[in-house]
A = this chain, B = another copy of it.
């Protein structure tokens, strides 16, 4: 995958990069909204474009179950099915299966799990997960990995990263011998495991580097470890990950988490926080989070964030959005989601600009000072 470094910070590991897929260039640091089952909940592709979303994430596990591969293949892949012409990254399904708790069984060959829809049994192997993502037709596919809970002891963590490597090896070789199903190229990322143990993370990275993936993802974080531990492991990993390839931190995070990780050299992010919080009525502003159901906003005719120029803020008041939440109206979810996605896109765009303009540290400092002024959750 063509990749270039546009700027590197001198005071931190922060960097601005670009990578090129056949559905468009992605400029980093980038946040990928989560469109699990073929929709960023409540938003249309037009909304994503107008909020300057560059690339979306979809879930292999979810799409495999619904609508299923037959429909996706007939549609000509996910881009056509959902009418999104920008880049798509799909995760491997590993994390979703891991989240199923009772419903999975892991062996050397793969993961057996039961559908959360109907309880039917399925088996994911490293090959199968490549095949599924080939049918989905995402621009970037991930290898099947083994996720482990936090805390996990060293033996469990080592076994998980070794199995993840074994699967990555199978998946890489298999993928490189496949032709894409549609008229464009796909790229493949590996997932680094190793829990909270730096030496295991190092082993994991060293082994995966040899397989020469198109990019590398840090997996197994954002699963309940401390803030300090996450930062430590993130920085440990980014320092050792290939410099000329995208560095992706999976499942992170809040605005503060993201700035901390950018500072530590991460290029790519995904998280349900902006969309899920929106649906709970938690809205992001420069001044921190705002819980729109609060009685404070009953007669507050300001926009969510007076400094925001998104559609929701240009057209509606806190009082109206609160009213929509109070009567359980879909338009409320939609306006809130649009705003939060716009906020995230804007944050990442500003972070990139600050890196390009060589003042990332002061940008981050200034953002955090204002942001923590009303931090409510």
Contact = CB atoms under 8 A, between A and B. Distances in A.
Given A81-B317, A330-B333, A38 B323 contact: yes
B46 A323 contact: no
Nearest to A37: B327
Q: Main secondary structure on chain A at its contact with chain B?
A: helix
A334 to B, nearest CB: 7
Interface in A33-51: 37-39, 41-46
B75 A301 contact: yes
Given A301-B74, A301-B75, A315-B83, A66 B330 contact: no
Contacts of A66: 323, 326-327
15 contacts: A38-B320, A41-B329, A42-B330, A42-B334, A44-B315, A44-B331, A44-B335, A66-B327, A67-B319, A81-B317, A82-B320, A83-B320, A330-B330, A330-B333, A334-B334
Interface of A: 37-39, 41-46, 66-67, 70-71, 74-75, 81-83, 298-299, 301, 311, 315-317, 319-320, 323-324, 326-327, 329-331, 333-335
A319 B317 CA distance: 36
A39 B71 CA distance: 34
A324 B39 contact: yes
A275 to B, nearest CB: 11
Contacts of A75: 299, 301, 317, 319-320
A306 to B, nearest CB: 16
A299 B71 CA distance: 6
Contacts of A330: 41-42, 330, 333-334
Given A67-B323, A70-B299, A71-B319, A46 B329 contact: no
